Amino acid sequence: MTSCVRPSTSSVRLQSGVSAFDVTVSRKPTSPRRTLRVVAAARLGRVCEGLSRGTGMGAGGVIGGRVLLALAPRAPGELARDREVVLVSGTNGKTTTSTYLAACLRTRSPVDHNADGANTPAGMVRALAAGSAPVVVLETDEGWLPWAVVQTRARTAVLLNLSRDQLHRHHEVAAVASRWHSALTGVDHAVANCDDPAVVFPALAASRQTWVGVGVRWTQDALVCPRCGQECRRTAEDWGCRCGLRRPTPDWRLEGAHLVGDARRVALHVGLPGQANLANAAMAVVAATTIGADPQAAADALRDIVSIAGRYDVLERAGRRARLVLAKNPAGWVEALAVVAAGTAPVVLAFGSEGVDGRDPSWLYDVPFAGVAGRPVVVTGRRATDMMVRLEMEGLTDVRRAPNVVSALAMLPPGPVDVVANYTAFQDARRELAHAS
C-alpha cells in the first residue's frame, strides 16, 4: 500500500524568494509496505494536525506525530524500512545542518526531512510518514539520538558538537556523550566533527567514521576526556588524552570558505553568515558526499539559502530592519555575538527561560558580552531582568528595557538592528514582528 504523500511546509527561504518546496523534485514512492495500522494511524494523525491548525492551537505537526506514535508505536521502524535514514544531531547547528544536508541530497534524489525543526520522536515519525522518499534526513534532539538510532535503524549519523545546554534536563555533557557512545554501536557510519572530544568518543563506537575538521570556538566543555575522565589537553587545533583518545586526522577539513579533502577542494558559498554556518555547511556537504552526492554540486545547492526556520531572517518594522539571530546556549551565544560583532548595528537581546531554553539561566555568565559594548542595547523577554543584570556585571550601563521586541525596535533609530534571542524569545519575536507588519 502506498502512503499518502503530502507536501511538508518549508521553513527555508531562498535568495530568489521561492520556497524550498518549490524546487523539490517529485517524489517516487519507494516504501510500499506499510501496514494498515500505520496507514490508519497516520491518517488519524493528519486529522488531528488539521484540527490543531484549524483551531489555531499550533502548526499541528507534533500532535500528528504523537497520535501516530500512540496508535502505532512500531511505526518508526516500519516507516524507515528500506530507506536511507540519516540522523543529524548535536547541541548547536542541527536545524541548519539537516536543512543543508537535505538540500545537498536533493541534487541526487528526493528527500524527506523534518524541516519544521520538530526533532523529538513525534516530529521525526511525522516526517517519516509524510512522504516516501528513498532518503530521510532527520534532525534529532541530542537526548533522543539513542531512541532514533534504535527505532529507525539509521545507517548514518552526522554528529556536530556537544556542549552545555539545558542542564536542568541533560545534567551533564559527559552523560550525553556516554549515552551517544552506547547508542552508536548500532550505526554503520558516523560523519563527525573531529575537533570536539565529546563527539569523537561516541563516534568511535560506529562501524566506520568520516572525520571533518570544522573547528570549535567553544572549548569549555572539552576539558575532561569523555572516555576516561582525565584531562584532555588542547594545543592549537590538536587535542588528546593520556588514555589514547586523541584528535583523529580529518578526512575533510574546513580552510576558510573551502572544504578540503584528499583529492578535492570544494568552494562553499554559504548564504548564512558566520563561521558556525560554514562549519554546518561543511558537515552537510561531507555527509552528502559519503551518501553519494557530488561534493561541488552539493555545495552549490546551499548557495541561495539565506534563512532557515527564521534564523537570519530580516524583518522590517517602521524603518528598522531587524535581523533575527537565534542563540540557545553559551556556545551558540558566542557564535551569535561574533556575527553581531562583525557589524555596528544596535542590538536587541531577547531572553527567556522556559523549559526548552533551560530553566537555569546561570550560563549567561559564561557568555562574554563585551562585544556589544559601545552600541545601543535594549533587552526584552520574560527573563529580561536576568539579561539586564548580566550586562551590568559586564560593565554595560547604558542598557534599556522594553516589554517586547516591537517596542525595543521603536527605541532604536531607523536602520539595521540585530535581534539576538534564545529559543522561546526568538519565536515570540518572530510572532510579534509578523503580527506587527
Partner 1 sequence: MPPDSGVCVVLVYPEALGTYGDRGNALALMHRARARQIPCRVVEVGLHDPVPRLGDVYLLGGGEDASMVMAWRRLAGDGALGEAVDRGAACFGVCAGYQLLAEAFTGPDGELREGLGLLDVRCGRLPGARAVGEVLAESEGVAGAGFLTGFENHQGSARLGPRARPLGRLERGTGNGDRRTEGAVQGRVIGTYLHGPALVRNDRLADHLLELVVGELPAFDDGAVRLLRAERLAAVRSAGRPWRRRRRRQVAVQPPSIMKEVPVTESVPGPQRKPTSSATSAGSTSRLIGVRASSTLSSTSSSPMPWLRAWSLI
Query: Which residues, numbered 187-226, are part of the site for partner 1 (CB under 8 A)?
Result: 220, 223-225
Nearest in space to 360 (alpha carbons), one of 171, 89, 217, 176: 171
Member of 30, 120, 296, 407 binding partner 1 (CB under 8 A): 120
Q: Which three cell numbers stand for residue 292?
A: 553519494
Nearer to partner 1, 396 or 410 (CB): 396
Instruction: Judge whether 133 and 31 are in contact, CB under 8 Å.
Output: no
Query: Using CA atoms, how far apart are residues 59 and 116, in angstroms rounded to an integer?
Result: 9
Helix (H) / strand (E) element for 393: namely helix 384-394
- When the beta carbons of 291 and 388 are compared against partner 1, the nearer one is 388
Nearer to partner 1, 120 or 290 (CB): 120
**CB of residue 269 to partner 1, shortest distance in Å:** 29
Length of the chain: 437
Of 70, 314, 318, 342, which lies in the binding site for partner 1, with binding defined by CB under 8 A? 70
CB 304 within 8 Å of CB 14? yes
Q: Which residue lies nearer to partner 1 by CB, 43 or 303?
A: 43
Q: Per CB under 8 A, which of residues 220..239 are in contact with partner 1?
A: 220, 223-225, 229-231
Question: Of these, 195, 386, 418, 432, which contacts partner 1 (CB under 8 A)?
Answer: 386
Q: For partner 1, which residue of 51, 267, 314, 370 counts as binding (CB under 8 A)?
A: 51
Cell of 405: 521586541
Question: If we measure between CA atoms, which residue out of 194, 233, 198, 236 comes closest to residue 211?
Answer: 194
Q: Please report, as residue ranges, which positions from 122 to 181 form the binding site for partner 1 (by CB under 8 A).
A: 122-123, 141, 143-144, 146-147, 164, 167-176, 179
Question: Could you give the residue ranges of the DSSP H alpha helices within 194-350?
Answer: 197-203, 275-291, 295-300, 330-341
Residue range at the interface with partner 1 (CB under 8 A); choices 26-34, 83-91, 262-270, 391-399: 391-399
Residue 5 as a binder of partner 1 (CB under 8 A): the answer is no
Count, residues near partner 1 per rule CB under 8 A: 73
**Burial, 102: exposed, middle or buried (Cβ in 10 Å; 0-12, 13-18, 19+)?**
buried
Instruction: Give residues with Cβ within 8 angstroms of 419, minimum separation 6.
Output: 322, 323, 324, 325, 347, 348, 350, 405, 408, 409, 429
> Scanning residues 313 to 372, which ones bind partner 1 (CB under 8 A)?
355-356, 359-360, 362-366
Of 85-93, 252-260, 297-305, 384-392: span binding partner 1 (CB under 8 A): 384-392
Q: Which of 5, 23, 44, 411 binds partner 1 (CB under 8 A)?
A: 44
